[in-house]
Amino acid sequence: MKTLKYILNKLLDVTFYLVLLALLWGVLQVFCFTSFNVPSDSMQPTLVPGDRIVVNKLAGGARLFDLFAALNRKPFNIYRMPGFSSFNRNDVLVFNYPYPDRKDSISFDIMKYYVKRCIGLPGDTVEIRKGYFRVRGVEQALGNMEMQAIVANLPDTIKEMRAFPKSQMLPWTIKEFGPFAVPAKGQVVQMSKENWRLYRFLIFWEQQQRPILQDDVVYLGDSIITEYSFRKDYYFMAGDRLINSQDSRYWGVVPEEYIVGKVAFAW
């Protein structure tokens, strides 16, 4: 009988510590660090397919949201904890891809993540000139310079050259792009035809109603809007392997709350 009680006590002790470790691991995953597998070559040579990356959530602050609502594609809010630092240009970030369902509206797929390098911060004005990234007022080299040199020498005839917003009014390419103002919270833009094309998907996501351009006038619901003040911060992302990377050059910017965190290291 004593032996049985001893075994039961030991089992309870082991179970307690296993549960405690599981809870600790869960807390670390939610608030501190998580890991992902790199599936594509869009970040070569920095990251290669098959790399495991550890993502630091403490840098920008961990995200809190209703997991079950996200899994069932129901409306939910994302809250970010205070971070120990901010996201910076040239940081390699993991984020939820903003256009998993349709190319004309932002949505959230908890299972679809991209890893890219941050080129433009909220409030930056991003340009690409002769294949090279530029941010107005910033002298810092941005992105993979060797790959930008390759883009600079691409023939203008290849079909992949067309870039966001893919409009005859703004015929931007991955060699000549912008200027594009990356929206920051509180930033105001005039609702011209050009800005409607650049920001309509962001306005639709923030307002949950689609801005309509009619006879050179922009309507939001029944109201005419001549300017718009953004409610969120956004980031411009690009892969290091620019000739094979679906990124902000093609589909636009990433909402701040879609960013999981900063890549700390890979193995």
Going from N- to C-terminal start, the domains of the chain cover 1-31, 32-187+230-266
**In this model, does residue 3 exceed pLDDT 80?**
no
Pairing label, strands 125-129, 132-135: antiparallel
Task: Report the range of poorest mean pLDDT among 59-63, 111-115, 212-216.
Answer: 59-63
Give 14's pLDDT tier (boundaries 50, 70, 90).
low
What distances in angstroms separate CA 7 from CA 4, 13, 14, 229, one per listed residue?
5, 10, 10, 66
pLDDT digits (tens, 9 = 90+) for 143-181: 999 999 999 999 887 777 899 999 999 999 999 999 999
What is the predicted pLDDT for the residue at 23? Answer: 56
**In this model, does residue 10 exceed pLDDT 80?**
no
Mean pLDDT over 13-36 rounds to 61
Question: pLDDT > 70: what percent of the chain?
Answer: 88
Phi, psi at residue 168, to the nearest 5°? -65, -30
- Please tell me which residue, 39 or 177, carries the higher pLDDT value: 177
Asked if 135 contacts 89 with a C-beta cutoff of 8 angstroms, the reply is: yes
Mean pLDDT over 228-243 rounds to 97
Alpha carbons 207 and 159: distance in angstroms, whole number: 34
What is the predicted pLDDT for the residue at 234? Answer: 98
Give 59's pLDDT tier (boundaries 50, 70, 90).
confident
pLDDT digits (tens, 9 = 90+) for 74-101: 989 999 988 888 999 999 999 999 999 9
Q: Is 174 exposed, middle or buried (0-12, 13-18, 19+ CB in 10 A)?
A: buried
CA nearest to 178, candidates 228, 130, 216: 130
Asked if 22 contacts 253 with a C-beta cutoff of 8 angstroms, the reply is: no
Indicate the class that CATH gives domain 32-187+230-266: mainly beta
Give 34's pLDDT tier (boundaries 50, 70, 90).
confident
Question: pLDDT > 90: what percent of the chain?
Answer: 70
Asked if 93 contacts 237 with a C-beta cutoff of 8 angstroms, the reply is: yes
DSSP annotation string for the chain:
-HHHHHHHHHHHHHHHHHHHHHHHHHHHHHHTEEEEE--SSTTTTTS-TT-EEEEESTTT--EE--HHHHHTT-----EEPPPSS---TT-EEEEE-S-SSBTTB----TT-EEEEEEEE-TT-EEEEETTEEEETT--S--S-HHHHHHHHTS-TTSGGGB-TT--SSS--BSSEEEEEE---TT-EEE--HHHHHHHHHHHHHHHSS-EEEETTEEEETTEE-SEEE-SS-EEEEE-SSGGG--SHHHH--EEGGGEEEEEEEE-
What is the predicted pLDDT for the residue at 148? Answer: 97
Alpha carbons 155 and 161: distance in angstroms, whole number: 9
Task: Report the range of poorest mean pLDDT among 6-15, 33-42, 89-98.
Answer: 6-15
CA nearest to 137, candidates 179, 165, 172: 179
- Please tell me which residue, 15 or 31, carries the higher pLDDT value: 15
